[in-house]
């Protein structure tokens, strides 16, 4: 459980976004990961992020599925990261990966997992963050992210504006 500063955390998030952009729009065949979460991102010695574990990924051509990289027929993924429409029988799309990326980003910034014990009944990570936005945002962020920020000398003004964007 490595504590990274805000700049390093945002660098990792940007690396993941670039990987998803490549898989969704720039690879020979469109790839939908279907299980994007922090545990499926590895860091190399230079702290560059690499998206891994394509065991349930799907290859698509536009909106039509070309099959899976495994023999599974149902949509699977990790609880808390799966797009809600998948649970309602929705088809695999890049938007599902975008949802999973958003949940992963919230976890990286708050250090709360979507399966944390505090999320019961109708409360989940996304709703918890939305309820804190914008005024309570700094209170739900992981404190280690805000230590020794290189851009504001410890004041939260610029950090708050950056995170609200």
The tally of domains found in the chain comes to: 1
| CB-CB contact of 9 with 43 (8 Å) | no
> pLDDT (tens digit, 9 = 90+) per residue, 35-68?
999 999 999 999 999 999 999 999 986 554 544 3
How does the average pLDDT of the chain come out, rounded?
A: 84
Residue 128 pLDDT greater than 70, yes or no: yes
Indicate whether 1 belongs to any domain: no
Please check whether residue 83 lies inside any domain of the structure: yes
- Percent of the chain whose predicted confidence (pLDDT) is above 90: 61
Residue 81 domain-assigned (yes or no): yes
Q: Is 55 inside any structural domain?
A: yes
Which pLDDT score is estimated for 57? 92
| Domain housing 122 | 6-164
CA-to-CA separations, 110 to 4, 107, 114, in angstroms, rounded: 12, 5, 10
Which residue among 11, 15, 35, 44 is the active-site one?
A: 35
What pLDDT is stored for residue 11 in this prediction? 95
Q: Label residue 36 exposed, middle or buried (CB < 10 Å: 0-12, 13-18, 19+).
A: buried
75-122 tens-digit pLDDT = 678 999 999 888 777 788 899 999 999 999 999 999 999 999 999 999
DSSP structure class, residue 138: H
pLDDT band at 71 (very low <50, low <70, confident <90, very high): very low
Residue-by-residue DSSP string for 55-74: TT-EEEETTEEEEESSS--S
Is the pLDDT confidence value at 72 over 80? no
Question: For residue 151, what pLDDT is reported?
Answer: 47
Q: What is the pLDDT of residue 18?
A: 98
**Domain assignment of residue 54, yes or no:** yes
What is the CATH number for 98?
1.10.510.10
Instruction: Examine the pLDDT at 160 and tell me if it is beyond 60.
Output: no
Please confirm, yes or no, whether 35 is among the known catalytic residues. Answer: yes
């Amino acid at each position: 459980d490595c504590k990274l500063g805000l700049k390093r955390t945002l660098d990792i998030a940007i690396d993941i976004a670039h990987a998803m952009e490549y898989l969704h729009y720039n690879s020979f065949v469109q790839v939908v990961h279907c299980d994007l979460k922090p545990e499926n991102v590895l860091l190399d010695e230079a702290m560059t992020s690499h998206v891994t574990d394509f065991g349930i990924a799907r290859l698509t051509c536009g909106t039509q599925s070309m099959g899976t990289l495994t023999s599974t027929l149902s949509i699977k993924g990790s609880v808390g990261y799966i797009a809600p429409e998948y649970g309602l029988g929705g088809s695999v799309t890049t938007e599902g990966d975008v949802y999973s990326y958003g949940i992963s980003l919230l976890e990286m910034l708050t250090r709360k997992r979507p399966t944390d014990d505090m999320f019961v009944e109708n409360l989940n990570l996304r709703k918890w963050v939305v309820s804190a936005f914008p005024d309570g945002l700094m209170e739900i962020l992981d404190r280690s992210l805000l230590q020794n920020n290189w851009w504001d000398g410890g004041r939260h003004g610029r950090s708050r504006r950056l995170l609200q964007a």
